[in-house]
A and B are shown apart, each in its own frame.
Chain A
Amino acid sequence: MISKLDLPDIQGNIVKAYGRYGYPRARYVFYQIRDATKGRKFVEKVNPLVTTSVPWSEDSPSLPAVAVNIAFTYQGLKHLDVPEDTLHGFPDEFSMGMKARRDIIGDTGPNHFKHWDKIWRSPDDKEDKYGQNIHILIGINAKEEGPLEAAYQQICGILAAATGGVIQLSGHRGANGDEDLPYQSAIASDSDREHFGYADGISTSYFEGCRENRRYVVGGGKPTGLDPTTPAGWAPLAAGEFVFGHADESGAYPEAPGPPLFSRNGTYMVYRKLHQNVATFREFLKAEGPKFGGVEAFAAKLSGRWRNGAPLATFPAEESADAFVLELDTLLMKSRQGQASAAENARLEKLRLQLTAFDYNDDSNGARCPFSSHTRRNNPRSALQFGVSKPFDTPGALSNRRRILRRGLPYGTSDENSTDDGDHGVIMMIVNADLSRQFEFVQEQWVNYGNDFRLSNDRDPLLGNHGFNENGRGNGRMVIEGDPGAKRPPYFCSGIPTMVETRGGDYFFVPSMTCLRMIAMGIVDPT
């Protein structure tokens, strides 16, 4: 399935994970529209700053200093006078907004919006009615603080010219008890680890026509049934899983609001501020690790990857995982400094492949990578065949249409003394063409439930909303499968606390460049 993608028409944050290109800093700024005409003018002035998906080479020295993108909630589009007929073409989940979907996606208990940052809450919020105050999201990504601030000031200038027709919303929580910050900052750590200590951003979905480095098809595409440790084992996903106006994995265009030109090359993005209970996580590892075989081994089982990034499916033992990453990092450093020989570069490519070139067919009992682990749940690859030979039309039949693109960055700082209530977590931005079939499905069936993995009601150990037992302890459970070969019995881990909590977010529409111009001009018309 070949997709012809007009990359200059597609916003850059859809195709590119900016972190991968060396943009570790970001600010996410939120606005409310008070006057439609001034709102359109604001959009018109921001549009020339918007970064597109024009291909970049990772090593290119001429990448822009900042990347800017813009997205709108349902209410945002409405307040810009996008016509009712077009608005009605959006599915319920988008028009309701993320707060209204909380029962489906598990934003209950500690994840309930009453605990969210102020900016996401509305005076209209009741148990069954919610306001959607936030209309526009502008994301600014940068390599350095200077250009980041400069771009932000430039946008503030554009805002000032809107003379109250658009206002910037405050209300983000930050460090030092701040409750009212004017934007959300995010920053990747130097070590590329997130706050629980896991190397992140290793694997991401790869779709036809994105023109990203082809190495990312391995593990990022869909399994073909051939050897998954080689490129032949993977093929790109259909672009329509992530971009409107293109064929998706089912061989049809994804449903999108009309007119076609409005939605073409656009998509949905889910913004979620996920707070991480770093102390709880640390204590939990300390308590369980020794019982299991070490803190690192236990952490690996929760995730499906060692904290250094090596996948359990390929590297079941800590020693081999460490040796692998050590060699990989050494060669990577050498290569970046231009000091690697041809043979070393070839070896480096081979090692990089191993980060993502695996499947679960040889691990159909979960002895290496637990069924319940975070990565196996969120990207099962061929695992839902349960080791049966060719029961389905294609090995990824049950997972190819549940893929998402993960964008976003960690926020805040943490160290080995941080408490839970510090400012640290991840700004998760999830891109997909169908909110209920992709993001919401994964949350509802694969994160907060277990039947597809034959695990009854068990939840994702890291991401799941585990609730509390009568003693106030976490109520999550996980089976860490035994290994008959190594004569290791299964380990039944209970009392798993909730380690990640939602602190804000909503559903956004990321228009194409064409659509942005049409919105700004006020000419969208589905007649």
Chain B
Amino acid sequence: MANQMGNAYALTLLCPIRHGVPEQCPEGLAGQLCADCVRYLLQDVMRVSEDSPMARVPNTYLSRFYILDDVPYQGKPAVLEHLKSNYLVFSANFHGDLDTWLTGMWSAIQPEIRDLLQYCFGFDTVHDCASFITWIRKCQVETTFFFDGSTDEPLAVQLKNLYLKQEFSDFVFANQGNSPEAIQANFREFVARTQPGNIDGPTWKPGAYSLDNVVTGLKAREAGGQ
């Protein structure tokens, strides 16, 4: 099936949420249903996206959560029907294979994952990475058609390339009209500073919203760099 397009993976999960009011709930939500506790956590804890825990999960391009409370009714003459459970729907696009990505998620944000998924059926069977992967696979639905309008490189490569695009943009505009010697000398400095071949060197931070804090991996701010 079409979960994968090249090295880009499209993961869709429908995680069934337990019914009724949970024993433990977030502060201020006593008496609220499991589904609404999950919804609150998503809306509140992860309010400002650059603090999203997903930024810490390696190779994640884009991901989203929503609560599916019920199937939509189209109006007569369509049949009115209902889901028996609410589902936490999770859709993610990432680089690589599923097991590696899930392992990365478990290693990076286990506490947040537990906080969120504890309200789901069967999550009490999850106690380590392997059982986490097993549970997730049970929640997975197969993608029917995956359209990749972007690239399928590792995230670190995408981020490094974005960093280079921005820096090279500044370089090109700043060097317009310079002599060949000057451009060549400046380019050597550019390469030393931006380290195009080095993924671990200066690059863009995942999830950054502002040009003021997007560059990471530098020891000190370069003059004229942005």
Contacts and interface: CB of A to CB of B under 8 A. Distances in A.
A297 B172 CA distance: 22
- Consensus secondary structure, chain A interface: strand
Interface stretch (B15-23, B109-117, B173-181): B173-181
Contacts of A477: 173
Nearest to B177: A291
A317 to B, nearest CB: 23
A494 B174 contact: yes
A72 to B, nearest CB: 39
A494 B177 contact: no
Interface of B is mostly: helix
Nearest to A469: B226
Contacts, number: 11
Size category of the B interface is under 10
Interface in A449-494: 477, 491-494
B29 to A, nearest CB: 32
Contacts of B177: 291
Contacts of B174: 494
Nearest to A458: B169
B112 to A, nearest CB: 33
A477 B176 CA distance: 12
Contacts of B176: 491-494
B173 to A, nearest CB: 4
Contacts of A493: 173, 176
Contacts of A494: 173-174, 176
A493 B173 CA distance: 7
Max chain B Cβ within 10 angstroms of own Cβ: one of A291, A477, A492, A493: A492
Contacts of A492: 172-173, 176
Nearest to B176: A492
A89 to B, nearest CB: 24
B139 to A, nearest CB: 35
A435 B174 CA distance: 38
Interface string B154-194: 00000000000000000011101100000000000000000
A316 B177 CA distance: 23
Given A477-B173, A494-B174, 9 more contacts: A291-B177, A491-B176, A492-B172, A492-B173, A492-B176, A493-B173, A493-B176, A494-B173, A494-B176
11 contacts: A291-B177, A477-B173, A491-B176, A492-B172, A492-B173, A492-B176, A493-B173, A493-B176, A494-B173, A494-B174, A494-B176
**Cβ-closest 7 pairs across A and B:** A494-B173, A492-B176, A492-B173, A492-B172, A291-B177, A477-B173, A491-B176
